[in-house]
Structure 1
Amino acid sequence: MLSAAFVVASFVASTFSAPSPSAGNCTVLWEGRIPQDFTPQSFDQDTSPFNNTIFLGQNQTWSEIVQFPDVPPSLFDITSKPVEISISDESIFAFNASLIETGFRRTELVPANNNNTGDITSGITTIHWSILTDSAHPLNYSHEYQIMWHERTDLAADQLALKTGVPFAPAKEDITVTNPKTLRVVGTNFATPEKNVYVVDFDDDVWHNFAVTIGWETNQTQLYYSRDKEPLEMVSNFTNDWAGQGIIHFGFLRLPIGDPDINIAFEGFQAPIDTFEGLVYGGLFVEDSADGCVSLGGQ
């Protein structure tokens, strides 16, 4: 069984500057932390920091999906508040009338101004996010979930993903997953096998804080992790294929159960969802780390 914290032993030397610990004073390129005065209806508006039309089920609105649970703030929610995202049996996204993704259940917040070019996906940037379970509306860990990922502009690959649950295709993993209730940071899914760069138990009632520093032109990557109010610490230092710029997804994609050869977007079994499944997200932002500045919190 995997230990509570598993790190791939063969780190690759980084070309980054040493991180400059900061409580949040690095230059923020995109701000996704939720203001205290936000309501669920704020996510339906064009003024939301997130795209208000994708990715959610057909005929759903964001105000029907998000809520603000009574939970402690995450590491970087100093003046902001966490938001809970949910999926249900109705969380079936349609690209158009003929491309309806019946194989998935999905709901994701995507930065509104991430237009696949510019500061967020060039130079050296750091993506921050924190995740908390909802024990009253848990995930079904017999499925695989992606609960944060960065997808190429052409939608041909995910450059990096945070996963939990039973792997859809265990043979494609570079480790044997015996405990499905773990958080697994996986590098580009172009790789065979996919490289699990960090694995940690997905404990309930605990904020799991992550940050990934990306060298968009160098492929050098640093991953940070902490729990609750502890400052982030670097847990993995590796190279990764970041070609293709792309889109950040904060939310979750529930994969079907089925043969690894099926078209997962349109085929496979989805276990029914009782009311909804939820995850709480906090501290969402992207900062400029070109000068080595990485907000670690806990200062």
Structure 2
Amino acid sequence: MLLAIVPILLVSLALSTATPIVYDGRARFNLTNADLESSTGPFLTVVKGSENATHYSSLLGHTMAPTPLWSEGLLPIQPTEQVISITIDNSSIFIPGGGSPQFGFRRTEFIAAVNGDHDDLNLVMEVNTTVFHFSIQKDEKRPLNYSHEYQVVFIEPNDGSHVFEIQLGSPFTDPSGPLPVADAHSLKVLDHALNTLFNAPFISDTWHNFAVVIDWSDKTLAVWYSRNADLLQLVKETTPNPTTPTGSDGQGDFHFGVLKLPLVNPEDSPANQSDVVHFGIQEGTIEGLLYSGCSWKVLFMV
């Protein structure tokens, strides 16, 4: 296994370009809000409500420093990307193509793409062993409601499952238990079967850096994590992810953003109470997260 053979290699790869980057989703300074509107560049911005993409997302320019893991130069350290703000509000009701409005969810997500093409990108980045990098920070002006479940980073095959997932808040249950749950304020890395592989307190004013390693052939996951400028550390050794569908059925789009699940509405019918996509309670508040450092590398190891 990759991590058993070369445990130090991945840390250096996280900070270097020795291994080719097959997808670079870091928002360079020439990326504009107009590009977000048109899904030009490294993202599709179509998973949103009825307003324009820039109603729910924005590029922060030089007003906020991105994760320092990707900075270049010594004195001074020069950022190479902009922070991305992604938010939801009560209009964040997504209508999938050919589907019905998802009234139960509030969601705004970016999908990894190259100038609008995500299908071909998936075939390139979801082979062999892939390292998925991303960094997350709280949006202090738009706090989350931790009584709800939030799915904020995931790879979604066609069956709607997630190869892996970063979760915040209180997992949806029907009926609802005591809320929020004890670890609601922690970032949790889940496998395909929703087992928790790692969790870390979601500390304020801090970049939470992740590298999730997926071996697509052996169907395994490993997790690396750090805060701010600290080097990534192995926090979950290579572990089986056996319930992931095999081959192309297990491949899918990479999403990052804010997907907020509802609370059970006691006035709904029993069948509707379990339909998290279309029913449930949402407060309609403005909530958000900040993202930086999104890129993936494919490792060709023997």
Pick the TM interval, shorter chain: 0.7 to 0.9
1:187 alignment partner, one of 180, 185, 191: 191
Match of 1:147 in 2: 152
Q: Which residue of 2 aligns with 1:41?
A: 34
CA gap of 1:30–1:170, structure 2 versus 1, over 3 A, is: farther
Kindly report which structure 2 residues correspond to 1:123-142, keeping only aligned pairs within 5 A, or say none.
123-142=128-147
Give 1:87's aligned residue. Answer: 88
Give, in angstroms, the shift of residue 57 of structure 1.
0.7
Q: Does 1:262 align with 2:274?
A: yes
Distance in 1, Cα, partners of 2:198 & 2:138: 19
Q: Quote how far apart the aligned CAs of 1:46 are.
A: 4.6
In structure 2, C-alpha distance between the alignment counterparts of 1:98 and 1:291, rounded to whole Å = 41
* Deviation for aligned residue 1:170: 8.6
1:198 is the counterpart of 2:189? no
State the secondary structure of the residue aligned to 2:43.
Answer: coil
Aligned residue number for residue 219 of structure 2: 219
Counterpart position of 2:16: 24
2:301 is the counterpart of 1:291: yes
Task: Flag structure 1 segments of 5+ consecutive residues without an equivalent.
Answer: 1-12, 293-299
Deviation readout 1:51-103 (Å, 9 max, x if unpaired):
14x21112x22222222343222134431121111111111000147510000
The Cα of 1:15 is off from its aligned counterpart by: 6.9
Q: Does 1:207 align with 2:204?
A: no
SS of the counterpart of 1:110?
Answer: strand
2:288 to 269, 275, 278: 278
Deviation at 1:278, TM superposition (A): 1.4
Alpha-carbon distance in 2 for matches of 1:148, 1:170: 23
- 1:140 and 1:270, CA in 2 relative to 1: closer, same or farther beyond 3 A? same
Q: Describe the SS at the equivalent of 1:80.
A: coil
- Percent identity of equivalent pairs: 29
Q: 3-state DSSP class of the match of 1:81?
A: coil
Aligned positions, number: 268
Q: How far has the Cα of 1:291 moved from its partner?
A: 3.2
Runs of 4 or more consecutive aligned structure 1 residues displaced over 3 Å after TM superposition: 13-17
The amino acid of 2:100's aligned partner reads L
**Secondary structure, counterpart of 1:94 in structure 2:** coil
Work out the CA distance in 1 between the residues paired with 2:67 and 2:97: 36
Q: Distance in 2 between matches of 1:105 and 1:46?
A: 20
Task: Answer yes or no: is the 8 Å Cα contact 1:16–1:220 preserved in 2.
Answer: no
The TM-score with structure 2 as length reference comes to 0.82
Distance 1:46 1:92, change over 3 A: closer
> Does the Cα contact within 8 Å between 1:14 and 1:221 map onto a contact in 2?
no
* Aligned-residue offset at 1:187: 0.8
5+ long unaligned stretches in structure 2: 72-79
The structural deviation recorded for 1:272 is: 2.5
Where does 1:114-129 land on structure 2 (aligned, <5 Å)? 114-115=118-119, 117-129=122-134
How far the C-alpha of 1:16 sits from its partner, in A, is 5.8
Which residue does the alignment assign to 1:100?
101
State the 1:37 CA deviation.
Answer: 2.3
In the alignment, the residues of structure 1 paired with residue 140 and residue 219 of structure 2 have an alpha-carbon distance, to the nearest angstrom, of 37
Q: Which TM-score applies when normalising by structure 1?
A: 0.83
